[in-house]
Amino acid sequence: MKQELVPLAGGELNRAAHLRGKASVMRGQMDALVLPVWRGHVPTDAEGALALIAAERFEAAQAYEVFLGLLPGGQPVFARDVSVFAPLVADEEAAPPSPWSTAGVAFQEFEGLIFRDLRAVMTTLTPLEAEMAGTARGLFEWHRSHGFCAACGVKTEMSQAGWQRECPACSASHFPRTDPVVIMLVTHGNSVLLGRNENWPERMYSLLAGFVEPGEPIEAAVRREVYEEAGVRVGKVSYVTSQPWPFPASLMLGCRAEALSTEIIIDPVEIEDARWVRREELARAMVGLHEDIAPARKGAIAQVLMAKWLADDWE
């Protein structure tokens, strides 16, 4: 089943937090499954489904295996980092593919499976599959980048089946982080404000976005980010929907905002360009017919918000 909700935001996984302390027991169950993850890339089979493998194919859980939760049928499911595996490519520098690419890599150990960037396949996975893949990717990225205690600097140890790290020196506990990011559909009459980052593919434009700062409410973050990036004043702000975005650890907070001004003064440090785009232009861009504007990545919350605006669908 294809995604019907905001991709990566299914919320169907039973995370079974009460079982994290018993993960070794769950791992030993005959029906336990494992999701292998290679450098953030996830495996799909010939039909495009997320590939889960019998846990018995892997040795007992070690430093880079985490307990994701329970499937609807009660099966325990884990994720294992297999980044040490060598892909079947002639040029090692050719892997992993770009985050903008749909290319994948294959492995001798996983015959018939192709590992692709989650962003390339998130719209073809079921909500549950996408949630499992996003959770695994986010957890592994956190372990990769937070291996030392922020309090004393000593190397920390994984605990609670991958949902915690403990410092053996000062006993500090560390938990996976999630960074809130506002992304806003700013409109003025029949036009929407789009921006462009210089690192994006040619012609691609999207909605403005930025991190929420400490002590800052969502509404204030929307107004601040729009003014900082494009010099546009914003009035009314309302929340629409959210999307986990584990690249590496964001939670996108999708909002609508009404512009009080239209003059654009961009901050070149933040964005390369910004422009007002009329509804008719955006409609052409969304189907690939605009000469200057390519739409945001398929499946990203920016495209979801723009599609809602075009359809006037805010239910």
Answer whether residue 2 shows pLDDT above 80: no
CATH of the domain at 22: 3.90.79
Rg for the chain (alpha carbons), in Å? 21
Considering only 3-12, 83-92, 226-235, 249-258, which range has the smallest mean pLDDT? Answer: 83-92
Give the phi and the psi of residue 202 in degrees, each rounded to 5. Answer: -55, 135
Residues 197 and 221 in one domain: yes
Helix (H) or strand (E) holding 286: helix 279-286
Answer whether residue 254 shows pLDDT above 60: yes
- pLDDT band for position 299 (cuts 50, 70, 90): very high
Residue 4 is assigned to a structural domain of this protein: no
Answer whether residue 95 shows pLDDT above 90: no
CA distances for 110 relative to 31, 91, 256, angstroms? 19, 19, 44
Q: If you ran DSSP here, which 8-state letter would residue 14 be given? A: B
Q: What is the pLDDT of residues 7-16, one digit of tens each?
A: 999 889 999 9
- pLDDT band for position 81 (cuts 50, 70, 90): very high
More confident residue, 56 or 176: 176
Domain count, the chain: 3
Q: What is the pLDDT of residues 65-77, one digit of tens each?
A: 999 999 998 999 9
Domain boundary among 100, 123, 145: 145
CATH of the domain at 222: 3.90.79.10
Domain boundary among 122, 145, 168: 145
Residues 224 and 280 in one domain: yes
Residues 198 and 107 in one domain: no
**Total-model pTM:** 0.91
Q: What is the pLDDT of residues 269-281, one digit of tens each?
A: 999 999 999 999 9
Residue 138 is assigned to a structural domain of this protein: yes
- Which residue, 173, 176, 126, is CA-closest to 152? 173
The residue with tokens 């650890």 is 249
* Paired tokens of 306: 């723009």
Residue 6 is assigned to a structural domain of this protein: no
Residues 154 and 222 in one domain: no
Answer whether residue 157 shows pLDDT above 70: yes
Residues 61 and 103 in one domain: yes
Structural domain containing residue 166: 146-176
> What is the per-residue pLDDT for 26?
84
More confident residue, 9 or 88: 9
Residues 93 and 135 in one domain: yes
> How far, in Å, CA of 141 to CA of 300, rounded?
20
> What is the per-residue pLDDT for 101?
72
> What is the per-residue pLDDT for 97?
62
Q: 3-state DSSP call for residue 100?
A: coil
Residue 12 is assigned to a structural domain of this protein: no
- pLDDT band for position 5 (cuts 50, 70, 90): confident
Residues 138 and 155 in one domain: no
Residues 5, 7, 11, 14: what is their CA dihedral angle, to the nearest 10 degrees?
Answer: 130
> What is the per-residue pLDDT for 172?
97
Residues 65 and 94 in one domain: yes
Residues 58 and 162 in one domain: no
Residues 208 and 302 in one domain: yes
The stretch 87-111 carries a mean pLDDT of 73
> What is the per-residue pLDDT for 57?
78
The stretch 54-60 carries a mean pLDDT of 74
Residue pair 191/277 in contact (Cβ under 8 Å)? The answer is yes
Residue 118 is assigned to a structural domain of this protein: yes
Residues 183 and 298 in one domain: yes
Percent over 90 (pLDDT), the chain: 78
Residues 212 and 274 in one domain: yes
Burial class (CB in 10 A: 0-12, 13-18, 19+), 168: exposed
Residue 261 is assigned to a structural domain of this protein: yes
